[in-house]
Homo-oligomer: A and B are copies of this chain.
Amino acid sequence: MTRTHLISLAALLFAAPAAADTLVDNVDGISVDRAGKVTRFTGIWIDDDGRVKALLQRKDKRPQRTDFAVDGKGATVIPGLVDSHVHVMGIGFGALTLDLSQTKSLAEAQAAIRAYAAQFPDRKWIVGRGWNQETWGLGRFPTAAELDAAVADRPVLLERVDGHAQWANSLALKAAGIDSATADPAGGRIERLPGSRAPAGVFVDNAADLVAKAVPAPRPDDWDLALAKAQEILIANGVTAVADMGTTIEAWQSMRRAGDTGWLRMRIMAYASGPQNMELIGGPGPTPWLYDDRLRLNGVKLYVDGALGSRGAWLKAPYADDAKNTGLPLVNGAQLRNLMSRAALDKFQVAVHAIGDRANAEVLDAIEELSHTYGGDRRWRIEHAQIVDPVDIARFGQLGVIASMQPVHQTSDRLMAEARLGPARLSGAYAWRSIAAGGATLAFGTDAPVESSDPFAGLAAAISRTGPDGQPFGGWFPAEAVSREAALSAYTANGAWAGFGEGRFGELRPGVRADFVFLDRDPLLASPEDLRATRVLQTWVGGERVYEAAGAISSQARGR
C-alpha cells in the first residue's frame, strides 16, 4: 500500500463519522429557555444522531464537510412546538370522521354522507358528527329514512353538533336492536314517527347510548390510521412533541407499532388513562424513553371535575347562572389521594384535570399533603387550571405544581365563563401571568381535538387575550397576558420540562435533539393578528425533515 493510498484512506475514514452530519444554514434562528431567555443563531449543525452539535452565529466558521446542507434563505426557525395537552387519537379519529358541520341543508348533508361512504368502501360503519337541523332550516329532526336515502348498505350514525343527539339509519337501528318496543331510558328520548311508536331515527341525550353502543370498537388498523393522521396534522402545525392525556393500552400499542416499524415521526409523552392503563402500560413505573426519545409513558391522567360549559366544573360557590349548583367532584378527597398515591408510589407523574376553583384547591391540597410522603422531583401537574381562587394562585409556585393550560380556551370560553361565574370571580380565570408570577411553570397546549391543534392561535391568545376576531378590544383581563418570550417558552422548553423531556427536546442547544420548524415570520416580532397567520414551512424532528409545506421555500439541499 502506497503512501498516497494511506492518505486518502485516512481522509475517508476520518470523514466517515461526520458523514451524516447536516448543516441547516442561513436561518433566522430562535430558541428560548425556561426563563424566557432568547438565543439567536443563523445555523444549526446537526450530528449523525440527529442532535444539535452546535448553533452557529453569522461569524462562526461552518463545518468543512457535511453530508447534507440546507439553505434556509433567511427563514425564521424556532424549536419544534411542544403541545402539553392533546388527545392524539382523538385528533386522528376526529379527522377521519365525516364532518357535517359545514352543511347548509339536509340535501347537502345527504350528498356529503353519500360521498364519504363512497370514499371509504371498507368501513363497516359510517360515523360522523356536526349536523344541525336548525342551520338546515328543517324545523324538525331528520329521519332514518332520510339517512337511508344517502346510505342504506351499511349502518350510519351521526352525532348532532352539540353532542346531545344521534341520528341513525335503519341498519344502525337494526344493529342496535331498537324497535317500537324500545322504551325511552331515564334522561333520554327516542324520537318517534308521527302517530306511531316506531323510532324515527334520532336519539336525544341518554337515548343516544342505546344506538351508539352498537358501533364496533376501533380495530388495530383504525388506531394506526388515527395515529398516522394525528401525526400528519400535528407535524404540519409545527408541533413536534405532545403530552397525550389519557392514553389507553390500545393507543399505546399503536404507538409502539409506530416506533417498532419506523413511522413514529414525533414525540409523545403519554399519560395513561387512569390507574389500570397506567399499570398495564408502564408496569412497575414509567417506561424508559423509547425510539430515540420519541415515546415514554410518563404517568397518569386523573380527573377531579368536569367542564365549565356543562356546569360540571366544581366551584367553591354556586354558579352565577345556576344558584343551587356548585358542580360536582368526580372523586372524593380520599379517592383522589388514593389514586395519586398509588401512582406516586411507583414514581409515575401525576396530571390531574381540574377546571373549577374548588377542584383546583382540592388538587393543591392533595399535592401539599402527598408531597410529605412523595418527595423529590415529582412535577405534579394540574391540567387546565382554568378557574383558580386568587388565594390559591401562589400555591402553584409554592408547591412546584406545573400549570398545564390552553390559551385558546380563554378566547373560546370567555363569554360562557362570564355567564357561569359572574364578574366577581374572573380575576383567577385563565390567570397565566399570575400563576407564572407565583413561580409556577406554565406549559401551554391546545386540548386538541377539543380545540384546533394550531399552536399559533394559542400563542396569539397568550400574548393578547383576544380571539381571532380581535375581540375584546385591548384583551380580556389583559393583565393576564404573557410576554412573547414566556409564551414561546411555555410552548417549547417548559412543555418539555413538564414531561421530563428537558435536555432531549424543547430547546435548540448542543446535545438536544434537533427538532425545529421553519416559519414565514418571526413570532417574537409579529402582532397577534400576524402570529395567527403564521405558516409552517418545514418541520424537522431529530435532524430529519418530516414535513414541507406545498409551495414552501425551495430550500437548497445538496451533498457537499
Contacts and interface: CB of A to CB of B under 8 A. Distances in A.
Interface of A: 3, 6-7, 9-10, 13, 219-221, 223-224, 249-250, 253-254, 256-257, 260-261, 279-284, 287-288, 290
A260 B295 CA distance: 12
Nearest to A1: B10
A474 to B, nearest CB: 52
Q: Give the 5 A-B CB pairs with smallest separation, nearest first.
A: A220-B283, A13-B13, A220-B284, A221-B284, A6-B6
A62 to B, nearest CB: 24
A283 B223 contact: yes
10 contacts: A6-B6, A220-B283, A220-B284, A224-B283, A224-B284, A249-B280, A250-B280, A257-B283, A260-B290, A261-B288
A253 to B, nearest CB: 6
A283 B3 contact: no
Given A224-B284, A253-B280, A256-B256, 18 more contacts: A3-B3, A6-B6, A6-B7, A9-B10, A10-B10, A10-B13, A219-B279, A220-B282, A220-B284, A221-B283, A221-B284, A224-B283, A249-B249, A253-B281, A253-B283, A254-B283, A260-B288, A260-B290
A41 to B, nearest CB: 33
A292 B229 CA distance: 30
A279 B257 CA distance: 12
Copies of this chain in its oligomeric complex: 2
Contacts of A260: 287-288, 290
A279 B6 contact: no
A257 B284 CA distance: 10
A122 to B, nearest CB: 13
A220 to B, nearest CB: 3
Contacts of A6: 3, 6-7, 10
A303 to B, nearest CB: 23
Contacts of A280: 249-250, 253
A112 to B, nearest CB: 29
A282 B254 CA distance: 9
Nearest to A12: B13
Contacts of A282: 220
A474 B256 CA distance: 54
Contacts of A220: 279, 282-284
A435 B283 CA distance: 43
A224 B250 CA distance: 21
The winner among A3, A249, A253, A279 for most chain B CB atoms within 10 A is A253
Contacts of A3: 3, 6
A255 to B, nearest CB: 11
A69 to B, nearest CB: 26
A64 to B, nearest CB: 16
A463 to B, nearest CB: 41
A277 to B, nearest CB: 11
A54 B78 CA distance: 51
Contacts of A288: 260-261
A560 B220 CA distance: 51
A257 B224 CA distance: 22
A282 B10 CA distance: 47
A256 to B, nearest CB: 8
A538 to B, nearest CB: 30
A3 to B, nearest CB: 6
A13 B10 CA distance: 8
A420 to B, nearest CB: 41
Contacts of A13: 10, 13
A262 to B, nearest CB: 10
Contacts of A256: 256
Contacts of A250: 280
Contacts of A257: 283-284, 287
A233 B220 CA distance: 35
A550 B280 CA distance: 37
A13 B9 CA distance: 10
A46 to B, nearest CB: 24
Q: Of A6, A261, A283, which is in contact with the most chain B CB atoms at under 10 Å from its CB?
A: A283
Contacts of A249: 249, 280
Nearest to A7: B6
A219 B276 CA distance: 11
Contacts of A223: 283
A199 B287 CA distance: 45
A492 to B, nearest CB: 27
Contacts of A290: 260
A478 to B, nearest CB: 48
A368 B156 CA distance: 38
Contacts of A219: 279, 284
Nearest to A262: B288
A506 to B, nearest CB: 23
A287 B258 CA distance: 11
Contacts of A261: 288
Pick the most buried of A221, A250, A284: most chain B CB atoms within 10 A of its CB.
A284
A88 to B, nearest CB: 16
A221 B279 CA distance: 10
A283 B290 CA distance: 19
A29 to B, nearest CB: 34
